[in-house]
Structure 1
Amino acid sequence: MTVTAATEARTTTLPEVTDPSRVTPKDARELSRLFFDQLAVLEEGTPECQYARNTLIEMNITLVRFAAARFRSRSHDEMEDIVQVGTIGLIKAIDRFELTREVEFTSFAVPYIVGEIKRFFRDTSWAVHVPRRLQEARIQLAKATEELRTRLGRTPTVKELSQLMCLSEEEVNEARLASNGYTSSSLDATISSSNDGEAALADFIGADDNALELVEDFNALAPMIAGLDDRERRIIHMRFVDELTQAQIGEHLGVSQMHVSRLLNRTLAKLREGMLSTT
């Protein structure tokens, strides 16, 4: 018997399930075996294969609701997302399940569903994305902190946490820093203030100081000014420190204003060229 003939011999007409979502869990287990048996021999992409796969999904959607029930404390909108994500886990389980495993499909599918939900929380719950290593370290840190606080009656030190967690003190501090990325607050959020009672968080955030940008320029400019001759440095000092006019500088040097202008332009061009080359 050829492979095609053997496949045709195994393929039987699947029962028509009018409303798979209303099938009881007991009946769903029995029907699922039949549908999985046929799904294994049906050609992928055919209407029969699609019918078998879709029916399996709808019949076992109660597994998703069962797994999602442990997260019932979440908001309504979050629960809708959890069910959708859990359904993806159910579909993955259906696509990978084989009757030859000799295990109940429910036992096989629930870990897939829960795993997909947990992955969803891991990827979306953090306000700032951090590596999975630090996400797991944060959970470990929270448990260790609570355990030591109960045992010692005080907040544990970094050294005590590192010993319990079997991590270096640097890794503990890194986990603490990563914990700040778990939640975020609006800059308009009100917080208590000792002076005015309440104030917005944004009021406590410093503004940019544009003058700080000049620090780098001054540091880069200092050796170039030191490389000028005495007269050039004197002209720069009188013009930009003493804030004298070109005519006043000319009087101090005993030269005309035009000559001061030429000297100043030449010196500034030299400094500008040096700054550009440094940049």
Structure 2
Amino acid sequence: MPTTATNELKHEIWQILREYEKSRSETVRNQLVQLNFGLVRKEAHYWMNQCHESYEDLLQVGCLGLIRAIERFEISKGHAFSSFAIPYIRGEIQHYLRDKGVTVRIPRRYLALQQQAIGVSRSLRTKYNRPPTDSELAAALEISTTEWQEIKLAWVNRAPLSLDVPVQDGEEGSTCLGELVPDPHYRSFQLAQEDQFRLQQALVQLENHTREVLECVFLQDLTQKQVAEHLGISVVTVSRRVKKGLDLLKHIMGAADD
């Protein structure tokens, strides 16, 4: 049965990941690339429909992301490897497209669902007296959770973030996104673009409540008071989540440089 085969494959991948963690063998790593190549094919196929790059080029770039994921995966943290690897694969492809100046299109369906989600989210927040989860929003929109997450990612990446966006954290005065970058001595425009990309990817890794606040501040340029009103929470809570989010972003981006 397919389920049995899938479980067997996951078990095999897990065992080989253990072996790679001990040996760091290039041969073992290449074996993991072959076993997980389906993840790359899926992402390459998706992005091929969003740009004019060739499928083969996207596959090659996606494989670089997969290799990075394999090298950075830690079994002790208990994450599913596929869930860990997909952001690396997707991120590598997006980075490649941005470096080439490729304009990524947001499908009309995604735009429509994003607009619909605003009203749905407001209704669910009133119903549950809290922000809805991804699965709750997806169910209300009658789409899968995975598709909703792809819509959110496309929306986040629709425009580059400015490294000069000011952030008031309520306790330590103000900071800006550029201060999150571990190395402050960037001088080339290409590296500045990379920082913007890394910040966007780091935002996606945050838990829903924290990310929602940061997206309101960074992407929608709302004040903390406006964010509080928009989300139905206190200004103090917004301030705490901004501070928590900044700390998490520094940790995520710092870990990515290890």
The alignment's TM-score, normalised by the length of structure 2, stands at 0.37
The alignment's TM-score, normalised by the length of structure 1, stands at 0.34
